[in-house]
A and B are shown apart, each in its own frame.
Chain A
């Protein structure tokens, strides 16, 4: 029995959101008489942090403290329409919709403030701490709370905004077949090192090193947690997970979490991540989306690392010990490739 080390790498492009255009999401922003703002979405935060990121985007666009914004999600009865949380589209699509809604609400807020301060709205700016003042004259100031109260009870204005983001539909050029399937791509490159046991066919992760390019990291800690967890899911897809593992009859399929395999805390490996930020021209503050692409480079990198370790090319997921062992036997033993 020998354990063979192998190293493999993979690079990916990941299109943000659904391809070929369309893919809309909407957002509504309104102020409460307290001067706080509510963002209404039917989009869902599954724990990735979309609630935090849309809150940041709204606050930044309005020019108010992030504490003054509340995001209400996941109610498709009362919230404006959203296609959903998938395809790594939350930050990009929903973020853009929130930005548009907040921009419209900011316009009304500045008009209402201008009326109170008896100046032109174009001469006003926000300080990001909950005040609006005349440019160059910070003492000519009014709080967003007082503006909200004035708008609500005196001026009869709703400080609110509507936003939608929709990618233009892309038609196929009849001459060339050319089209633009997506407007925004994230990128990643990952090197995986594995150890393959040629007697059992088991593959153990040794370490991963990666670089992810995902536009501007609007919330760096949330991006990091997405990448760490998403890469784990990539390992899970590469080596463990399948609803019908080894035999054609679904009767033998896993029925519970004991049989549906996933890597546990003892199966993870060190993962060094570099985040590269190249702001997306059409992203909210340059953000793309670190969703599914966290996992994507792991699968081919692991398959390549297994080839490097024992010389077998497995092209069906997950790469179970059985598949590795059968392939090693078929080629008459492990054939470690040159280390790269």
Chain B
């Protein structure tokens, strides 16, 4: 199969790779770029752990054709921390015990970031809506909801 040249911005850095036609963005990120932060959960859009931001919008990378991000900006969890410091959301997840096994965490953080980037003071219902496409098996969601609300509160008061 012919390889397709693909250029896009990955966490603020220009990247250029060759992909097979039909390659999904999750595979491109993990296997060709080496960014292992988006996780493979179901590969069918049912679990949310592969979530990334494309031009600031939340997308499931397992259901996104890699070719469609040409020239666009892709953000993953790998780009979330600010230099040596954790992003306020990451800090809030740690402080609120919002992760146990951690497999859903990358997707949860990206979904939360997509929410807070467009709504800096979300309601509890907004938070629930924002993470409703992400499955967590361990936490019972409550600590995750609390962490996102805490991060939003901290940002609002800062």
The answer to whether A binds B is: yes
Which A residues are closer than 8 A to B by beta carbons?
46-49, 221-222, 224-225, 228-233, 256-258, 262, 264-266, 268, 271
Chain A CB within 8 A of B56 CB: no
In the complex, what's the smallest C-beta–C-beta distance from B144 to chain A, in angstroms? 7
Chain B, residues 129-157, CB within 8 Å of chain A (1/0): the string is 10110011111111111000000000000
Chain A CB within 8 A of B42 CB: yes
**Cβ contacts A to B, 27 pairs, < 8 Å:** A47-B99, A47-B100, A225-B97, A228-B139, A228-B142, A229-B100, A229-B138, A229-B140, A229-B143, A230-B140, A232-B140, A232-B142, A256-B46, A257-B42, A257-B46, A257-B47, A258-B45, A262-B135, A262-B137, A264-B132, A264-B135, A265-B127, A265-B128, A265-B132, A268-B140, A271-B140, A271-B142
Q: What CA separation (Å) do A266 and B101 show in the bound complex? A: 21
Contact indicator B46/A46 (Cβ below 8 Å) = no
Q: What CA separation (Å) do A14 and B137 show in the bound complex? A: 22
Chain A CB within 8 A of B122 CB: no
- Contact residue among A221, A268, A271 (Cβ-Cβ distance under 8 Å from B97): A221
Q: What CA separation (Å) do A228 and B147 show in the bound complex? A: 14
Q: A47-B99, A229-B140, A265-B132 are in contact. List 15 more A-B contacts (CB 8 A).
A: A46-B101, A47-B100, A224-B97, A225-B100, A228-B142, A228-B143, A229-B139, A231-B140, A232-B142, A256-B46, A257-B47, A257-B135, A258-B45, A264-B132, A268-B141
Among residues of A, the one whose C-beta sits closest to the C-beta of B102 is A47
A258 in contact with B44 given A265-B128, A265-B141, A266-B128 (CB within 8 Å): yes
Chain A CB within 8 A of B41 CB: yes
Q: What CA separation (Å) do A257 and B135 show in the bound complex? A: 8
Q: What CA separation (Å) do A333 and B100 show in the bound complex? A: 43
Q: How many residues of B contact A (CB 8 A)?
A: 27
Among residues of B, the one whose C-beta sits closest to the C-beta of A234 is B140
Chain B contacts for A268, CB-based, 8 A: 140-142
- Contact residue among B42, B143, B145 (Cβ-Cβ distance under 8 Å from A225): B143
Among residues of B, the one whose C-beta sits closest to the C-beta of A225 is B97
In the complex, what's the smallest C-beta–C-beta distance from A52 to chain B, in angstroms? 11
Chain B contacts for A232, CB-based, 8 A: 139-142
In the complex, what's the smallest C-beta–C-beta distance from B61 to chain A, in angstroms? 16
Chain A contacts for B127, CB-based, 8 A: 265
In the complex, what's the smallest C-beta–C-beta distance from B55 to chain A, in angstroms? 26
Contact indicator A47/B101 (Cβ below 8 Å) = yes
Q: What CA separation (Å) do A257 and B46 show in the bound complex? A: 5
Chain A contacts for B101, CB-based, 8 A: 46-47
Chain B contacts for A46, CB-based, 8 A: 100-101
Chain A contacts for B46, CB-based, 8 A: 256-258
Among residues of B, the one whose C-beta sits closest to the C-beta of A230 is B140
Contact indicator A265/B131 (Cβ below 8 Å) = yes
Chain A contacts for B145, CB-based, 8 A: 265
Chain B contacts for A224, CB-based, 8 A: 97
Among residues of A, the one whose C-beta sits closest to the C-beta of B145 is A265
Most chain A CB inside 10 Å of its own CB: which residue of B46, B100, B131: B100
The A-contacting residues of B in range 73-104, CB under 8 angstroms, are 97, 99-102
A266 in contact with B140 given A229-B100, A258-B46 (CB within 8 Å): no
Contact indicator A225/B139 (Cβ below 8 Å) = yes
Q: Which 7 A-B pairs have the closest CB atoms?
A: A232-B140, A47-B100, A47-B101, A257-B46, A265-B141, A258-B46, A229-B140
Q: What CA separation (Å) do A265 and B128 show in the bound complex? A: 6
Q: What CA separation (Å) do A256 and B127 show in the bound complex? A: 25
Chain B, residues 17-57, CB within 8 Å of chain A (1/0): the string is 00000000000000000000000011011110000000000
Among residues of A, the one whose C-beta sits closest to the C-beta of B141 is A265
Chain A contacts for B128, CB-based, 8 A: 265-266
- Contact residue among A257, A264, A266, A271 (Cβ-Cβ distance under 8 Å from B41): A257
- Contact residue among A48, A225, A257, A266 (Cβ-Cβ distance under 8 Å from B44): A257
Chain A contacts for B47, CB-based, 8 A: 257
Chain B contacts for A256, CB-based, 8 A: 42, 44, 46
Among residues of A, the one whose C-beta sits closest to the C-beta of B97 is A225
Among residues of A, the one whose C-beta sits closest to the C-beta of B144 is A265
Among residues of A, the one whose C-beta sits closest to the C-beta of B100 is A47
Q: What CA separation (Å) do A222 and B102 show in the bound complex? A: 14
In the complex, what's the smallest C-beta–C-beta distance from A298 to chain B, in angstroms? 11
Q: What CA separation (Å) do A66 and B33 show in the bound complex? A: 38
Chain A contacts for B41, CB-based, 8 A: 257
Among residues of A, the one whose C-beta sits closest to the C-beta of B142 is A228
